[in-house]
Amino acid sequence: MSAIAIAVISTGGSPRPILAGASMLAQVPTDSETTDLCPSPALSRVQSHSVVAGETLESIATAYGLLPITLLGMNSAAQAGPITPGMVLRIPPFNGIEVSVAEGQTWQDLATVYQLRADILFEVNGCPAAVPAQIFVPGVNWFSDIATVSADGATGGTTDADPLAGYPLSEDASILTAFGWQPHPERDELVFSSGVTLAVSPGATALAVGEGTVAYVGEEDALGTLIVINHALGFQTRYGRITNPQVSAGDRVRTGQPIATTTPLSDAGATLYFEVRTNSELGWVARDPGDYIPALAVR
């Protein structure tokens, strides 16, 4: 059987610093290249942070471009009470949680449990020959049972307001192209999509999915008009294949605010290309929008 070629879609690339980004997944390797091409396991990149006076869980999370709930999940001591000076916190490279793997569990078993693609789990954890006893699961959807702890020690069921609480369109949309590896429609290869392509009716409005500041409005070769919005806690969203932008760089936007019109493909429909990215040491790293906006999840 001939090998399948692998390529990567450059959907959000740009020479502008604000648009510099990296796909979370490396190019799919051959067996002999796995070690060289896969990223270091996420757990090997966990840092330590010693809490100093005046810091809060929220301020530390913001400094590292993470959600406070991520730090709670990685640090059991932080769940027991307010953080105090001298406490050492484990800081992962991006949002997610460390989990124990039961004997005999496969990547597909874990993918089913955490509603993620098996190949994403495999590569985030360094492409090991066997499933490790401890793995890192990226995303935020499985933290609902962890209570937050305020500075005075009071607990609650949720963290600060979700920075991506909205939906990117004025109407429900179907997903034409999902996030991740996809078969190329014309060539015998796989390509990586760093966002989702949504199908809507002509004239549908693109909406900001959260409060933030417009970082960029301009033209891109692959996406036509592109709007980039920076949100709290190190999140960024990108909206491509749009027309008639209603915002400019530097504008503040609110959740649900109209920002542009979708580009018609024909009289029958239009599309929106939408990305979620998070700020990290790798740059603006593409994430699965379905991990943050349940209506965009492919299950």
In the chain, the percentage of residues whose pLDDT exceeds 70 is: 76
Percent of the chain with pLDDT over 90: 40
Judge residue 81's burial from the number of C-beta atoms within 10 Å of its C-beta, 0-12 exposed, 13-18 middle, 19 or more buried.
Answer: exposed
The CA-atom distances, in angstroms, between 228 and each of 8, 26, 237, 274, 288 are 21, 24, 6, 10, 16
Beta-carbon contacts of residue 42 (< 8 Å; ≥ 6 apart): 92, 93, 94, 96, 124, 125, 126, 136, 138
Which residues contact residue 280 at a Cβ distance below 8 angstroms, ignoring those fewer than 6 apart? 65, 93, 94, 234
Please, what is the average pLDDT of the chain? 78
Give 242 or 73, the one with higher predicted confidence: 242
pLDDT at 158: 36
| Calpha distance 213→136 (Å, rounded) | 31
Question: Between vectors from CA 247 to CA 244 and to CA 248, what angle results, nearest 5°?
Answer: 110
Domain ranges (residues) in the chain: 29-156, 174-296
Assess whether pLDDT exceeds 60 at residue 250. Answer: yes
Burial class (CB in 10 A: 0-12, 13-18, 19+), 53: exposed
Tens of pLDDT, residue by residue over 62-87, are 999 888 888 988 888 887 778 999 99
Interior CA angle at 238 toward 236 and 240, to 5°?
180
Residue among 119, 140, 126 at smallest CA distance from 39: 126
Looking only at the bridges linking them, the beta strands covering 21-22 and 47-50 are unpaired
In terms of Cα–Cα distance, which of 66, 19, 62 is closest to 45?
Answer: 66
Longest distance between any two alpha carbons in the chain, whole Å = 63
Query: What radius of gyration, in Å, describes the C-alpha atoms of the chain?
Result: 20
Are 125 and 92 within 8 A, CB to CB?
no
CATH architecture of 174-296: Distorted Sandwich (2.70)
**Residue 195: which of 227, 170, 171, 165 has the closest Cα?**
227
DSSP 52: -
- 101-144: per-residue pLDDT in tens? 988 999 998 888 777 788 888 988 999 989 999 999 887 544 43
Q: What pLDDT score does 284 carry?
A: 78
Does position 223 have pLDDT exceeding 50, yes or no?
A: yes
Per-residue model confidence as pLDDT tens digits over 162-186: 789 899 999 999 999 888 777 777 7
pTM recorded for the entire structure: 0.53
Burial class (CB in 10 A: 0-12, 13-18, 19+), 296: buried
Which range of 38-47, 252-261, 287-296 scores highest in mean pLDDT? It is: 252-261
For residues 248 and 294, the model is more confident at 248
Superfamily of domain 29-156: LysM domain (3.10.350.10)
Is it true that 29-156 and 174-296 share their CATH fold?
no
